[in-house]
Amino acid sequence: MARDYYGILGVDKDATDQQIKKAYRKLARKYHPDLNPDDAEAAEKFREASLAQEVLLDPQKRQIVDRGGDPMEQGGSMPGGGFAGGFDTGGLGDIFAEFFGGGAASRGPRSRVQPGSDALLRTQITLEEAFAGAKKPVTIDTAVLCDTCHGSGSESGSKPVTCETCHGAGEVQEVQRSFLGNVMTSHRCPTCQGYGEVIKDPCGHCGGDGRVKKRRDLTINIPAGIGDGMRIRMSGQGEVGHGGGPAGDLFVEVHTQRHPVFERDADDLHVTVRVPMVDAALGTNFTVTQLDGTDLEVEIEPGTQPGQTISVEGQGMPRLRTDGRGRLLAHVDVVVPTDLDSKSRELLEEVRDRTEHTTAIHTEDEEDSFFDRLRARFRR
C-alpha cells in the first residue's frame, strides 16, 4: 500500500514547501543518526523523513501521492538507502520470483496512479515566421483527465477497495506439477491487473482508466530565430497518466518551409541578385525586400565580377539565444545580353576597342603576372 508521506512528516496535505522543510528539520534534529548512534528505530525514522521530504518537494511525485499512489514504487529511492528493484542482475530475481514466488524478489502491487508519457508533434512554419517569431495554432490528440471522475476511475468518486483475489498483493500464486516436482509460479492478478485494488463502480466515461482521448487546440509560441528541426517543449501538455497521473510534456518539432527568394544557413540569409553586365561594370544599387517587409539598399561597386558575394552585416536571421542578427549574403549573377540591336553593338565594340583586355586562358600565375605587369609599367 502507498506510504502516508504527509503523516510521516506530520503535515497537512495543503502544506507549503516551507512547512514541509520545517517539519523535516524538526524530525532530523530528533532522529539524526549522529545524535542516536545506537538507535536503529531512530535511524529508520530519519530515513523515512528524508524520503518524505524528497517526495513532497517534487511536484510530480507529490501529485501521484495526492491521487493515492506511491511514486517510489516505480523505481525511485526506498527507505533504508536501497533502490526499488535493486541492481540489474540479468533478471535472476524475476526468474526466481516467477518459479518460486514471494520472498524479497516479489514485485508487489503496482501503483494505480502513473505519470503520463511525453508526446511529439511536428509543424511547419514559414521563413517569415522563423524570422519574426509567431503564435502558431496546432491540434493534438492526447489522453486527458476524465472530466467525469476527475482521474479517480470511479463513477461515484469512491476509493478503490482491496482485491479479494490477491488480497492486495497484486499477484496470485499457483502450484504446477513438473518433472522437478511441484513448482510454485507467480503472475499478475487477473482481477485487479496487478494493482492490488479494484474499483467497485468504474466510470462509464473512461472505463476506470481515469483518462480519455481528446482532441485539443493549443497555441505554440515560436521564438524569433528558431532553426529548422528544433523542438519546443510545452511542460505538462503531453499524455495524462493512468489513474489521472501527472501529464508528460509535449515536444513540438518545427520545420521551415522553402522560401522562393532567401536560403537560410544558420543565422545567415543568402540571396542571388541578377545584375546586367553594364551595371556590374559601372556600379549600381539594388533593393532587397527583407523578411519583415522592409526594404534594404545594397550597393554594387563598379567592376563587380560574376559570382562575387556582397556581405551585409546584421541583416540576416535573428540569433536565437543572443542579441543581434547574422549576415545577408548577396551572390551576384552577371547577366550578359544576348539580343543586341545595332546601336548597342556599336557601343560595346567601342568599349572593347578602348580596353586593353584580351581573351586569355586563366592560369594560377595570373595574379603574379598582373603585378609583374604593374611593376614593369612603373619602370618605364
> Does 180 share its domain with 102?
yes
Give me the pLDDT at residue 179, please. 63
> Does 71 share its domain with 171?
no
> Does 194 share its domain with 79?
no
Give me the pLDDT at residue 213, please. 92
The annotation places the binding site for Zn(2+) at 146, 149, 163, 166, 189, 192, 203, 206
Give the domain CATH number at 365.
2.60.260.20
Q: Which of these, 233, 236, 334, 325, lies nearest to 282 by C-alpha position?
A: 334
219 burial class (0-12, 13-18, 19+ CB within 10 angstroms)?
Answer: exposed
- All three cell numbers of 9, joined, read 512528516
Long-range contacts of 291-298 (CB under 8 A, 24+ apart): 291/127, 291/128, 291/131, 291/132, 291/262, 292/128, 292/131, 292/132, 296/328, 298/273, 298/328, 298/330
**304 contacts 291 by C-beta, under 8 angstroms:** no
The annotation places the binding site at 146, 149, 163, 166, 189, 192, 203, 206
Count of domains observed in the chain: 4
> Does 328 share its domain with 215?
no
CB atoms closer than 10 angstroms to residue 213:
10
> Does 102 share its domain with 166?
yes
Give the domain CATH number at 70.
1.10.287.110
Per-run averaged pLDDT (10 residues), the chain, 380 residues: 84 90 86 75 85 88 81 50 35 41 54 87 93 92 90 87 88 74 79 88 88 92 92 91 88 92 92 87 88 90 89 92 90 84 78 65 51 45
- Which H or E element spans position 26? helix 17-31
Task: Return the sign of the alpha-carbon dihedral for residues 149, 154, 159, 165.
Answer: negative
> Does 312 share its domain with 190?
no
CB atoms closer than 10 angstroms to residue 69:
25
> Does 42 share its domain with 81?
yes
Which residues of 65-208 form beta strands (DSSP E)? 119-125, 134-145, 161-162, 171-178, 181-188, 197-198
| Distances 102 to 180, 182, 212 between C-alpha atoms, Å | 19, 16, 35
> Does 282 share its domain with 360?
yes
For residue 57, how many C-alpha atoms fall within 13 Å in the half-sphere facing its CB?
15
> Does 149 share its domain with 174?
no
Q: Is 127 helix (H, G, I), strand (E, B) or coil?
A: helix
> Does 183 share its domain with 101?
yes
Residue bearing cell 546601336:
343
**Spatial distance between the Cα atoms of 94 and 101, rounded to a whole number of angstroms:** 9
**Spatial distance between the Cα atoms of 159 and 176, rounded to a whole number of angstroms:** 35
> Does 220 share its domain with 340?
no
Angle between helices 59-66 and 40-56 (to 10 degrees): 100
Give me the pLDDT at residue 18, please. 87
**Spatial distance between the Cα atoms of 253 and 156, rounded to a whole number of angstroms:** 40
Structural domain span for residue 145: 119-156+204-256
Give me the pLDDT at residue 169, please. 87
> Does 104 share its domain with 219?
no
